[in-house]
Structure 1
Amino acid sequence: MSVQARAQEPAAAAPAAQVSVAEGIKDVRRRIEAAAERSGNKAPRLVAVGKTKPLEMVLEAYHQGHRYFGENYVQEIVEKAASAPEDIHWHFIGHLQSNKAKALLQGVPNLSVLETVDTAKLADRLNRICGELGRDKPLGVMVQVNTSGEESKHGVEPAEATVLAAHITEKCPNLKLAGFMTIGMPDYTSKPENFVCLKDCRRRAAEQLGMDEAELELSMGMSGDFEAAIEMGSTNIRVGSTIFGARVYPNKK
């Protein structure tokens, strides 16, 4: 069944899922506010990640007043964006192959931020395609940093983060450097250096680029560690399963 067809189903078709999503997003919002209050930091933006979940579940969060949503797969975000309200701010948070950049940007004209730029090649391709498509404003991008050193994770080495950030700001006029993103190690409590490392990347880049650190966001924190990330100063958290429930992974590209 297509995403469009699912979106047209009556609301009563999946009442349990709808209640779960509504309760989930309310609970996450409560936990965000509590973590921000504990730390004295500003509450970050919540990007609700609907990876592998049907559009109707995303829309349930939308009807709770939420507007920021993230997806990991090009095909999935393109399908959802085609039927979703235009005032959604979409974040792409999955690894993006250069040859899929055009499909993403054409398919999601209201893409707000691409959080996973990890090479100058990808930045250049995004910059060129944005120019060809005539976007109204530059595409927000984040530099993904591999702060844990795990081979299974994408991202530039911390020492190269500033180089890529400088390339984006100096060579890619159709892109806007929004900040830095990382995926922390699962056991955050014993590995807080992942988030400390990202903060250091931001500090060094701000110094070299002549920017205020506050101009650059820190996208860190997911379902298992977003409260700790908030206490470390995250400005953008990506929460999926805590809102939408456990995921099922189809063969998406």
Structure 2
Amino acid sequence: MSESQVAANLKDVLRRVDAAVQKSNSKKQARLVAIGKTKPVEMVQELYEAGHRDFGENYVQELLDKAPKLPKDTKWHFVGHLQSNKAKMLVEGVPSLAVIETVDSEKLANKLENALEGQSRPPLDVYVQVNTSGEDSKSGVEPSDVVSLAKHIKENCPHLRFSGLMTIGMQDYTSRPENFKCLSVCRAKVCEAIGMDPDDVEMSMGMSGDFEQAIEMGSTNVRVGSTIFGERHYPNKEEASKHDNA
């Protein structure tokens, strides 16, 4: 896929995002995070030059490789499963890291907190990942455990800022309405428990196959990769079988 086609795809997805926001009657514009997983940094650079700023990656090493090649005002979202032993590497290696969308345990939250101590940067935004589909293959906390983890972050991790919830779709990477509704219910419970306004808590749900429906059901942050960048090409079947988050 040519780079000019990638820019055209971005423009079309942004148009579709705007249309979905209008249908949702939301007071808040949904954010589009362009996921460049497995794609060359030159494609990401072109979208930056077209005015886009929010980009995401699934793999720590890929983000570490790409981040230094983009301007400092790039807003990087980490959207893959993060092993706690890579938390320090990630936050120290990507100064422009804006959000980690996949915090799914107190252990990981604590590792991130420790890694950020002593750094001269504002608190790092984090989303709690929720397994709304109940699939064993999906990461994320159970809906019944969301409040506990969000409360832990808010009360015990001053270098982190709990700012949202995130979920991944079903096995075919499309979410069903009940998954979207589950995340909305989780947000309401969290806000009641920790005293936050729902408007201040993002809902990251919706990917290439379902981002319009997700926005219409309240998503404020959608993760779109293949619809913008084209199909991904993996070096082996094992990589292809790993879960996409965009």
Q: Cα offset for 1:135? A: 3.5
Structure-1 residue corresponding to 2:40? 54
Does the CA contact (< 8 Å) of 1:52 and 1:250 recur in 2?
A: no
User: After TM superposition, what 4+ stretches of structure 1 lie above 6 angstroms from structure 2?
Assistant: none
Determine whether 1:153 maps to 2:132.
no
Does the CA contact (< 8 Å) of 1:43 and 1:230 recur in 2?
A: no
Structure-1 residue corresponding to 2:107? 121
Which of 7, 10, 14 is matched with 1:29 structurally?
14
Q: Which amino acid in 2 is paired with 1:100? A: K
Structure-2 residue corresponding to 1:170? 155
Shifted more, 220-229 versus 17-26: the winner is 17-26
Of the two, which has the highest radius of gyration? 1
Structure 1 unaligned blocks of 5 or more: 1-15
Q: Distance in 2 between matches of 1:80 and 1:188?
A: 27
User: How well do the aligned residues superpose, as a CA RMSD in angstroms?
Assistant: 1.6
TM-score normalised to structure 1 length: 0.90
Structure-2 residue corresponding to 1:82? 68
Q: Cα offset for 1:106? A: 1.4
Q: Cα offset for 1:208? A: 0.6
Structure 2 unaligned blocks of 5 or more: none
Which of 93, 96, 112 is matched with 1:107 structurally?
93
Count of paired positions:
236
Q: Distance in 2 between matches of 1:171 and 1:69?
A: 28
Q: Distance in 1 between matches of 2:174 and 2:112?
A: 33
Q: Which amino acid in 2 is paired with 1:193? A: E
Which of 207, 230, 239 is matched with 2:224 structurally?
239
Q: Cα offset for 1:84? A: 1.0
Q: Could you tell me the percent identity over the aligned residues?
A: 59
SS in 2 for 1:69: strand
Q: Cα offset for 1:187? A: 7.7
TM-score normalised to structure 2 length: 0.92
SS in 1 for 2:6: helix
Does the CA contact (< 8 Å) of 1:137 and 1:174 recur in 2?
A: yes
Q: Which amino acid in 1 is paired with 2:197? A: D
Determine whether 1:198 maps to 2:183.
yes
Q: Distance in 2 between matches of 1:187 and 1:61?
A: 24
